[in-house]
């Protein structure tokens, strides 16, 4: 299958994220994409392809214009304010305060974000745009008739909402691709998010829509990031009521200890929706060795995941999200795609 990859991911290389109360080297680093690319080529999963340039049109069908403008200028504003280190937000709107758009860059960073783990660097905007192009190139492969394709997106995207960044995400690659499939004449599109963390951005983008189903298996937000999204009671709104399905699982969940059953429930809902195309937000931070996550999936479980997704018989674009155990990351992604190809 086509493996879409751009070297421009390297332009997102943050100095630090705030984690465990300390500034530490970001776990979301360029070595991740290098490890995945090498493992996929070694396993013979497919051939590398460069992304095409789609411009901002497909991005603006998912993200608000003022947010896109902010992202495109954030580094310039930050460096013009005299700072040399990468930009992190330091405060957010609290209850009882005014949720208005401030003017200074420090205010804007807080206004458009929801965490302090997502540094804006000189290359962030270019890297984020390249990742969106990678996802859109994958969507084009699916529209052109491929049964499967893999978009090696970095930075990831599923936490980014229409006008908000966080969780290492700036542009929502999976949502941009899903919307690309809709515009490209697929009437019904589904997103299956199997990253360990809830894809709050993707959920919110499609929350009130009936044409895009969002199904997610993730760690219970009562105990895990992003904390304020991903509960089972979130089922959609307005026309989209019933078109969001959250399957939160307890930290510590293993394949046989609940994950497989949740995946079967997710696939049953997807079958009921009968989508023309599927976007899988693929995070392998469900792995037992992941440094920031607490599920217990093992290497041998990932081919099963890919095979079960293939069983839907729906053209599928895999979009890379999380996964931080550098030594196992590439093999686990290759295992999912290998299982899909065999399935
Ligand atoms: C991005 B993706 C853990 C702190 C977590 C943010 C995690 C973002 C995950 N103690 N900080 O969904 O893999
Ligand atoms: Zn994750």
Mean pLDDT (10-residue bins), the chain, 343 residues = 98 95 96 98 98 98 98 98 96 96 98 97 98 99 98 99 98 99 96 99 99 99 98 98 99 98 98 98 98 98 98 98 98 99 96
Instruction: State the burial class of residue 104 (Cβ atoms within 10 Å of its Cβ: 0-12, 13-18, 19+).
Output: exposed
Confidence (pLDDT) at 296: 98
For the chain, state the CA radius of gyration: 18
Q: Which residue of 191, 322, 332 sits with most ligand 1 atoms within 8 Å of its CB, as the best mutation to test the pocket?
A: 322
User: Quick one: tokens of 48?
Assistant: 């590398």
Residue 228: predicted pLDDT: 98
User: CB-hemisphere CA count at 13 Å for 158?
Assistant: 31
pLDDT of residue 90: 93
The stretches of 65-171 forming alpha helices (DSSP H) are 65-80, 105-111, 124-143
Cα of 285 vs centre of ligand 2, distance in Å, is: 6
Q: What was the pLDDT predicted at 11?
A: 98
218 beta partners:
248
Q: Does ligand 1 come within 6 angstroms of the Cβ of 167? A: yes
Q: Residue 52 has what DSSP assignment?
A: P
Pair of tokens at residue 109: 């960073």
Q: How far apart are CA 294 and CA 288, in angstroms?
A: 7
pLDDT at 62: 98
Catalytic residues: 159
Confirm if 217 and 247 have CB atoms less than 8 A apart. Answer: yes
Q: Has this prediction a pTM greater than 0.75? A: yes
Residue with CA at minimum distance from ligand 1 atom 10: 292
Q: Which pLDDT score is estimated for 335?
A: 99
CB 183 within 8 A of CB 212: no
């Amino acid at each position: 299958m086509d493996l879409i990859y751009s070297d421009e991911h390297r332009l997102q290389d943050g100095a630090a994220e705030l984690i465990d109360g300390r500034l530490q080297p970001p776990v979301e680093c360029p070595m991740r994409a290098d490890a995945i690319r090498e493992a996929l080529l070694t396993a013979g999963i497919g051939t590398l392809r460069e992304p095409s340039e789609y411009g901002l049109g497909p991005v603006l069908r998912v993200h608000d214009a003022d947010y896109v403008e902010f992202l495109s200028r954030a580094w310039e504003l930050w460096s013009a304010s005299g700072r040399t280190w990468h930009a992190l937000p330091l405060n957010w709107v609290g209850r009882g305060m005014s949720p208005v758009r401030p003017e200074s860059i420090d205010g804007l960073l807080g206004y458009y974000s929801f965490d302090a783990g997502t540094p804006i660097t000189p290359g962030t905007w270019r890297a984020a745009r390249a990742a969106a192009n990678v996802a859109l190139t994958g969507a084009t492969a699916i529209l052109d008739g491929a049964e499967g394709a893999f978009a090696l997106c970095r930075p990831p995207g599923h936490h980014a909402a229409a006008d908000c960044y966080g969780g290492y995400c700036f542009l929502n690659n999976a949502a941009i691709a899903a919307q690309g499939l809709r515009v490209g004449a697929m009437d019904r599109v589904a997103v299956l998010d199997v990253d360990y963390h809830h894809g709050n951005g993707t959920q919110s983008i499609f929350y009130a829509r009936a044409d895009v189903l969002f199904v997610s298996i993730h760690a219970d937000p009562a105990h895990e990031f992003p904390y304020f999204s991903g509960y089972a009671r979130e089922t959609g709104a307005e026309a989209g009521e019933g078109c969001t399905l959250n399957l939160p699982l307890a930290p510590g969940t293993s394949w046989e200890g609940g994950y497989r059953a949740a995946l079967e429930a997710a696939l049953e809902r997807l079958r009921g929706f009968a989508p023309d195309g599927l976007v899988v937000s693929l995070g392998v931070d469900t792995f037992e060795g992941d440094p920031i996550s607490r599920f217990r999936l093992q290497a041998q479980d990932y081919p099963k995941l890919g095979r079960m997704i293939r069983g839907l018989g729906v053209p599928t674009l895999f979009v890379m999200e999380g996964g931080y155990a550098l030594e196992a990351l590439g093999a686990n992604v290759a295992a999912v795609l290998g299982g899909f190809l065999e399935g």
